[in-house]
Structure 1
Amino acid sequence: MSVTTAQLSMKAPANSRSRVILASLIGTTIEFYDFYVYATAAVLVFPHLFFPPGNETTALLSSFAIFGAAMVARPLGAIFFGHLGDKRGRKITLVGALLTMGIATFLIGVLPTFATVGWFAPALLVVLRLAQGFALGGEWSGAALVATENAPEGKRAIFGTFPQLGAPIGFIIANGLFLIIAAILPSDDPSRPSLAFLDWGWRIPFLFSAVMVIVGLWVRLNLVESTAFEKTVSKGEIKKVPLVSVFQSHSKELVLGTFYMLATYVLFYLMTTFSLSYGRAATAGPIAGLGYDYTTFVLMMIVGVVFFGIFTMVSGPWADRWGRRKTLICVTLAIIVFGLLWVPMLSLGNVGVMAWLILGFALMGMTFGPMGALLPELFPVSMRYTGSGISYNVSSILGAAVAPFIAIALWKLGGGSPFWVGVYLSAMAVLTLIALLIGKETKDVDIEA
């Protein structure tokens, strides 16, 4: 006997709007918090503690290499969790991804350093960093699906911005906690954390992750599956191997989705990880920077991230009104121009640096926000978790994994000038623009198909 839509809706109670918003927001907030904690430590702590002393540039590049290694694990996580999410449901998969990330982050907080165990320290750091990337590979797409598959008609892009808000909120919590610890354990040398901070203070943000994970698990365990997924189950349309199916029938969408995200990822990691290195570097040296102390520059970054959050929310109504494609084409053109204006803006002193941070993070919100709806809309329900997850996370390799490393190399090549780093951002945005021009609008697709 077939199951009617009315019968199905009686058997599968819908999630309330508040539950959908909270579940999609809190999980990504925790996941991005964990990632930002690592990103901050990759600049501030790990070069001092997890690598041989003597060459600060090599240690920083090594720390960034481990940071980027997690991006390689993210597509694997997307395949693993995507398979579970498309076959077993979104809820159990999201719980598993959150647990994996939380445990890995907590364990980083108790790792021994190079001075204690030698090369085992960076080796263990690599393993746990890979676990972080593996977990995040399954987190984002699941959270985006919870938001978009439960969204009211005509408001998918608005609801899709809630998991995206986890990025700026996680950044503020992570860096705010580091700032508090640095204030409690101050350093006499602005270029280097205090001995107490390096000894034990840096571990607190990693250990605090356990508290946040418990809260996130409580929220997500109260979710019910979306009607879209339950309808697919009732029709017998679940794919035996979603990965094979998505490559067979939606390979073009996989490629386009990957390049849709490219400029977003490059901008994201240049404005967070690279900018922290560039902002704190001395004004004289082999790779000169802006010469700010850690506290001042992070406070400036947090101001910029507030605009990241604001424009993430603004982008949702725009994408619902004008379409995802038209909105993103305009934003991507703005990113191309922004990349070419780095040197003129940064030459204006404090005002220029603050404007650079605000504009960069505002553009980040405008390009990141619509992705919560756009990528899931590229794929049918039966392979949506896998397809959106692969596109999102393969792009992390092309963009985020190499962006900090390339940026450091270009920064050094330019003798301390960020000119070529900005050009690199513009070039990657051109590739995203081409993909958007090739792709089609998804605003009116049936999310339950």
Structure 2
Amino acid sequence: MTSAVATGTPTSQRRIAFATIIGTTIEWYDFFIYATSAGLVFAQLFFEPAGKDIALLLSLATVGISFLFRPLGAFLAGHFGDVLGRRTMLVITLVLMGVATTLIGVLPTFAQIGIAAPILLLLLRVLQGLSAGGEWGGAVLMAVEHAPADRRGRAGSWPQLGVPLGFLLASGMTALMTGVISPGAAYLEWGWRVPFLLSVVLIFVGFVIRRSVEESPVFAEIAERGKQKQVPIIALFRRHWHLVILAALVFVGNGTLGYMTTGGFLNNYAIAEQGLDRTVVLVAAAFAALVWFCSTLFAGYLADVIGRRNTFLIGFALQALVAFPIFWLVNTGGLLGLYMALVLISTGLGLTYGPLAAWYSEIFPASIRFSGVSITYAVGAVLGGAFAPMISQMLLESTGTTAAVSWYLLLTTLLGAAATLCLRDRSGIPLGPDHEAEQARGATIFTPYESVREPVAQH
């Protein structure tokens, strides 16, 4: 029997693209609406008795704490995704995220139920972290494993687009609530709840769309042959632990800078330190999400032309160049400076995010691929984005200057670039179960290159 290959029609490819984009957009809308609210209102509503500065740190910390549970979500979803299938886990994680987000929208505040309020808030955020940890791997494998070998970069960018779109939707909804529907005190009283409650509708739409997509052809062939690993996580760490570490460090270089905006730090800094209007800042964040969307999409196409690795290196070079200027612009340029800073951040982010799905998928063997990509992504998120907003806030408060934050961003960017140089580009490597031996060798510069096929040429 020949190995599974993607032979879907253009119509089926478009359906898969639509399903992965819509699903990840909804998932990340739910995740980012929390991060946006953490920087704007949660300090006042759930942590105010701790004092203004400590309350903000605690609020931002809840954004990061959820990341600690993303590896657990990745372990669970990776195991069952490699055993039961990609599509099943996509539906489960979508529903879990939606339920947690909706419940946050009806959660009483500290003034109403006391210490139980922040505890319940944290528990629901943990459920969001579990869902986010498991969702990404399934979405990218559904896209990449359905795609022709010479189009995996652009196919892998489809679920990646859900992140900037989710951030755009979250920022836009919050801006609408703060500036039009519930300005001023009304936003603190009830307006912040509306974006969370909207998740009920979005989850229903996403559920229907994801249920309509066929299972990945790679997993379908694995299941047909009965080649599922009984405990894929053990096989992953026994033979490929070094890949998990290196690939996770690649994502650290992207995630730390990314959570300057999506984690709420830069938004809160522009409002609290520079005195910019809250709604105006949220509109700027929404604009940045559009730039991030475009650069991510472009990076997916670029990765099919010049390779995943080269695209990453270009993106990391840009990130390193802007680590200091972004704060100079915000500190001296007012609203225009904020827009310029966000454009610089979003361009570099897209170049180091668009190729990620294809590269991760081509690193790990078929039978443990869901576990590999999910756990790697979750570990990278913990080491990179999880506490980046809180660390940045602590650096700002302890030094009184953003220079320390810029050094932090530069060092993590260089770390990501170094890890990128340790991995090989594997564009076009067969993804099916017949090629597991080839997939298991040659992913790093420390192993023989002869085991890796030449990249598939662009047609």
Global fold match (TM > 0.5): yes
2:415 to 431, 434, 449: 431
Q: State TM-score, norm by structure 2.
A: 0.90
In the other structure, the counterpart of 1:314 is 298
- Opposite residue 423 of structure 2, the aligned amino acid is G
In the other structure, the counterpart of 1:419 is 403
In the other structure, the counterpart of 1:26 is 22
- Opposite residue 295 of structure 1, the aligned amino acid is T
Asked if 2 retains the 8 angstrom alpha-carbon contact of 1:14 and 1:226, the reply is no
Q: State TM-score, norm by structure 1.
A: 0.92
In the other structure, the counterpart of 2:447 is none
In the other structure, the counterpart of 2:385 is 400
How far apart in 2 are the matches of 1:185 and 1:62?
Answer: 28
Q: Describe the superposition over 1:354-376 as per-residue Cα deviations: whole angstroms up to 9, x where unpaired.
A: 21111101111111111121112
Q: Describe the superposition over 1:194-219 as per-residue Cα deviations: whole angstroms up to 9, x where unpaired.
A: 33221211111111001000000001
Q: Describe the superposition over 1:136-180 as per-residue Cα deviations: whole angstroms up to 9, x where unpaired.
A: 111011000011001123000101011011111111111211122
In the other structure, the counterpart of 2:364 is 379
1:275 to 241, 266, 272: 266
Q: Does 1:218 align with 2:202?
A: no
Asked if 2 retains the 8 angstrom alpha-carbon contact of 1:75 and 1:393, the reply is yes
Asked if 1 retains the 8 angstrom alpha-carbon contact of 2:76 and 2:134, the reply is yes
How far apart in 1 are the matches of 2:326 and 2:407?
Answer: 9
How far apart in 2 are the matches of 1:431 and 1:54?
Answer: 35
In the other structure, the counterpart of 1:191 is none
- Opposite residue 160 of structure 2, the aligned amino acid is Q
What aligned pairs does 1:57-68 form with structure 2 within 5 A after superposition? 57-68=53-64
Asked if 2 retains the 8 angstrom alpha-carbon contact of 1:75 and 1:390, the reply is yes
- Opposite residue 217 of structure 1, the aligned amino acid is F
Q: Please, which runs of 5 or more residues in structure 1 have no aligned partner?
A: 188-193, 282-288
Q: Could you say what secondary structure the match of 2:320 adopts?
A: helix
Identity of matched residues, %: 38
Q: Could you say what secondary structure the match of 1:224 adopts?
A: coil
- Opposite residue 362 of structure 1, the aligned amino acid is T
How far apart in 1 are the matches of 2:233 and 2:430?
Answer: 21
How far apart in 2 are the matches of 1:13 and 1:75?
Answer: 35
Query: Structure 1 residue runs of 4+, over 6 Å off?
Result: 12-15
Greater mean alpha carbon deviation, residues 271-280 or residues 74-83: 271-280
How far apart in 1 are the matches of 2:164 and 2:48?
Answer: 33
What aligned pairs does 1:296-315 form with structure 2 within 5 A after superposition? 296-315=280-299
Asked if 2 retains the 8 angstrom alpha-carbon contact of 1:79 and 1:386, the reply is yes
- Opposite residue 399 of structure 1, the aligned amino acid is G
CA drift at 1:442: 1.7
Length, aligned pairs only: 430
What aligned pairs does 1:62-101 form with structure 2 within 5 A after superposition? 62-101=58-97
Q: Does 1:148 align with 2:139?
A: no
Asked if 2 retains the 8 angstrom alpha-carbon contact of 1:14 and 1:227, the reply is no
Q: Does 1:119 align with 2:115?
A: yes
Q: CA RMSD in A?
A: 1.9
In the other structure, the counterpart of 2:314 is 330
How far apart in 1 are the matches of 2:186 and 2:278?
Answer: 16
Asked if 2 retains the 8 angstrom alpha-carbon contact of 1:304 and 1:357, the reply is yes
How far apart in 2 are the matches of 1:85 and 1:298?
Answer: 36
2:349 to 364, 370, 390: 364
Greater mean alpha carbon deviation, residues 351-360 or residues 107-116: 351-360
CA drift at 1:326: 1.3
